[in-house]
Amino acid sequence: MKHLLALTLVLALLFSSCRKHASPPEPATHSFIDDVGHSVALSHAPRRVVSLAPSLTEILFLIGADSSLIGVTDYCDFPEAAKQKAKIGGMLNPNIERILALQPDLVLMSGSGNMRADFEKLSSTGTPVFVSYPRTVDGVFKSILSIADLTGRRQTADSLVALLQLRRDNLVHKAAAKKKETVLMILSLNPLIAIGPKTFLNELVTLANGQNIVHDSSTSYPVLSREEILRRQPDVIIATNDIVRSINDILSPYPEWKSLTAIRNKRVAIVDASIVSRPGPRIIDGLEAIIRALHGEH
């Protein structure tokens, strides 16, 4: 009986010792698939995020995840608080060493604005990198929700995206009641480049009840001749404020355009590049600006 009692005590001590020295359970890992098919594994909501595109920075602020944002590009200028974050360089030439020195547990990249080589450099260090690549307005909504999933802000994002969708639908409904206008949207004056089909900006023009004059182009960003613009006679010309400040900036290189219907009717609109070109939450502001350019106040 004494031997049995002694054996019981030894076994109890052994099991107790095993429990004391057992490794803690591994934290649960959650996997996310980004917009280009990469799998991103996170063991917890990221606490140190670097954003490599203004649109992604705006999304983080929108959903209330900006407290975890520790680094942004030189072009991340909205909202105002974004300017106070540490700068890591440009979109095309970010300082990889500076990014790594910030010890991020997540880097957000843009599929349209950042370079694949930078993605590979960051990924090779084991840093989780998520690529956002929306190509439509609905794609922007999806990106907002994806980033909310990554940062544990999904409930907030669901409500915000629902409001953005409702606003989009209301704007499109009102624009549909207006007369369809033909539109030339310029991305560059020299060379003369316009938005073509299958582009983000072309979708905005279409949603605004406009007809892109180069909708039949075989390329997304066609280079046009000055004569072709005269032949197609757009009702409205739209340019962004990063390339045009006034109508004189257009007429100076193309004085013969004085005969264009859009010029004669003073229907040249200069819109804020940051709201129509960034695939972020202010894209609905961009849609509203294009509707105003085509149809006036609504």
pLDDT for the residue numbered 15: 39
Per DSSP bridges, beta strands 193-194 and 268-271 are unpaired
For the entire predicted model, the pTM comes to: 0.87
pLDDT for the residue numbered 242: 92
pLDDT for the residue numbered 66: 96
pLDDT for the residue numbered 28: 58
**Is domain 30-162 given the CATH code 1.10.3720.10 in the classification?**
no
Q: What is the 3-state secondary structure (H, E, C) of the chain?
A: CHHHHHHHHHHHHHHHHHHHHCCCCCCCCEEEECCCCCEEEECCCCCCEEECCHHHHHHHHHCCCHHHEEEECCCCCCCHHHHHCEECECCCCECHHHHHHCCCCEEEEECCCCCHHHHHHHHHCCCCEEEECCCCHHHHHHHHHHHHHHHCCHHHHHHHHHHHHHHHHHHHHHHHCCCCEEEEEEEECCCCEECCCCCHHHHHHHHCCEEECCCCCCCCCCECCHHHHHHHCCCEEEEECCCCCCHHHHHCCCHHHHHCHHHHCCCEEEECHHHHCCCCCCHHHHHHHHHHHHHCCC
The pLDDT tens digits along the chain (298 residues) read 444 444 444 334 443 444 444 455 445 578 999 999 999 999 899 999 999 999 999 999 999 999 999 999 999 999 999 999 999 999 999 999 999 999 999 999 999 889 999 999 999 999 999 999 999 999 999 999 999 999 999 999 999 999 999 999 999 999 999 999 999 999 999 999 999 998 999 999 999 999 999 999 999 999 999 999 999 999 999 999 999 999 999 999 999 999 999 999 999 999 999 999 999 999 999 999 999 999 986 5
Where exactly are the structural domains of the chain? 30-162, 178-295
pLDDT for the residue numbered 169: 98
Nearest in space to 231 (alpha carbons), one of 210, 257, 205: 257
Distance CA 122, CA 99 (A): 9
Name the CATH superfamily housing domain 178-295. Nitrogenase molybdenum iron protein domain (3.40.50.1980)
Q: Which two tokens stand for residue 206?
A: 């279409």
pLDDT for the residue numbered 18: 42
